[in-house]
Amino acid sequence: MNALAATNRNFRQAARILGLDSKIEKSLLIPFREIKVECTIPKDDGGLVSFVGFRVQHDNSRGPMKGGIRYHPEVDPDEVNALAQLMTWKTAVADIPYGGAKGGIGCTPKELSTSELERLTRVFTQKIHDLIGINTDVPAPDMGTNAQTMAWILDEYSKFHGHSPAIVTGKPIDLGGSLGREAATGRGVVFATEALLAEYGKSIKDMTFAIQGFGNVGSWAAKLIHEKGGKVVAVSDITGGLKNPNGIDIPGLLTHKDTTGKLANFSGGDALDPNDLLVHECDVLIPCALGGVLNRENADHVKAKFVIEAANHPTDPEADEILSKKGVIILPDIYANAGGVTVSYFEWVQNIQGFMWDEDKVNNELKKYMTRSFHNIKNMCQTHNCNLRMGAFTLGVNRVARATLLRGWEA
């Protein structure tokens, strides 16, 4: 089941649990605005090349819309729609004053030079500058984009609107980016894990962890779990996998990966087939890579007692049912990986105030938000007698529906 179908299904189930009016249910599903623009740029060799850029703005009842911009060859309108909608529920669960958006350009970044990427980003910004804004829609990096991309958008947007650091988040620190933003998603995953384990009278230091994906989120989560005394017994990424039942030396592995670019040949563990990571012996499994990795083929063989969804949509609905029957506790993506957008919100707040925080304040506020959200989700689970995924969805959908009704949506 693809991301859009799964998101819609979760939304409809939440709407049913909440007893939403069918008219408002339909209204919440339809995006506020979809934008599609043509971006033609001169290539370095003098020829012209055209790309299609787009932005889906899903809902703005709780505040400006927020979401990433991805540069990827298969930018599928359905997927972007699903991700924009997911951002609406995610920001509501985190209780930050945003709605959801998502966008991108259908291109292959590694086939473009830096100057071509810069021209493309600037043309895209010129085409959408009057449809985004500090109080309208605030983009952020996503697949294939980074802090440099955000710097170009900021510069191009500011030519039209005056200096506007709050127009994008995930910027370089020198241009008003926030301290702690880089580690935010991984750190949020760890705070979420602590909140969940505390419910069961456990803590990170009592548990073993397997982590799939060793990019930004996975490597930060591993580092912080290691620092808190947790044992990371297996990690994998596209280059390979590694296992050590006594716990992997994460700082050593990070140094090894920085030098060689891959996990293979690290002395502190044995090679592991990346496909076996998800069914590896551990207490807590953290998928931090792609969607749909837990499915009906492998769900039955998962040995973890807890699954923390650091990736977007890593568990498909069939796996969800199999794992639930086995008594595995799944902490849903819509909450577990909300650390990134929460610290993006802190960045936006700092830019608007023109007053920057130190890193400790950022991390302490993040912990406060993640812990409070978890307790709000648990309350919804108790009220509606449902699992954590539905607890999170009902919490998010209910907040957006309430805001919509309070604003007077029928007038």
CB 86 within 8 A of CB 7: yes
pLDDT band at 267 (very low <50, low <70, confident <90, very high): confident
pLDDT digits (tens, 9 = 90+) for 226-266: 999 999 999 998 888 999 999 999 999 999 999 988 888 88
Tokens linked to 130: 């009057």
Q: Please tell me the predicted confidence (pLDDT) of residue 198.
A: 95
pTM: 0.93
For the stretch 40-68, pLDDT in tens is 999 999 999 999 999 999 999 999 999 99
Q: What average pLDDT does the segment 169-181 reach? A: 96
| Domain boundaries defined on the chain | 30-90+98-177, 179-351+360-411
pLDDT reported for residue 275: 85
Question: What was the pLDDT predicted at 216?
Answer: 87
Residue 384 contacts by C-beta under 8 Å, 6 or more apart in sequence? 17, 18, 390, 391, 394
CA atoms within 13 A on the CB side of 118: 8
d(CA 329, CA 180): 29
Q: Is the pLDDT of residue 371 over 90?
A: yes
Of the segments 113-127, 270-284, 319-333, which one has the largest average pLDDT value? Answer: 113-127
Q: What CATH class has 30-90+98-177?
A: alpha beta
Residues 13-37 have a mean pLDDT of 94
Cα gap 381→377, rounded to integer Å: 6
* 221 and 286 Cβ atoms separated by less than 8 Å: yes
CB neighbour list of residue 46: distance below 8 Å, 6 or more residues apart: none
Among 26, 102, 110, 326, the active-site one is 102
Annotated binding site: 66, 90, 185, 216, 344
Q: What is the mean pLDDT of residues 23-40?
A: 94
Burial call 181-215: b when 16+ CB within 10 Å, e when fewer: bbbbbbbbbbbbbbbbbeeeebebeebbbbbbbbe
Q: Detail the residues annotated as belonging to a binding site for NAD(+).
A: 185, 216
Could you tell me which residues are annotated as the binding site for substrate? 66, 90, 344
Question: Superfamily for 179-351+360-411?
Answer: NAD(P)-binding Rossmann-like Domain (3.40.50.720)
* pLDDT (mean) for 335-350: 96
| Predicted pLDDT of residue 411 | 55
Mean pLDDT to the nearest integer, 345-355: 97
Provide the β-strand partners of residue 208: 231
Catalytic residue at 305? no
Q: Mean pLDDT in the chain?
A: 93
Query: Do 30-90+98-177 and 179-351+360-411 fold alike per CATH?
Result: yes
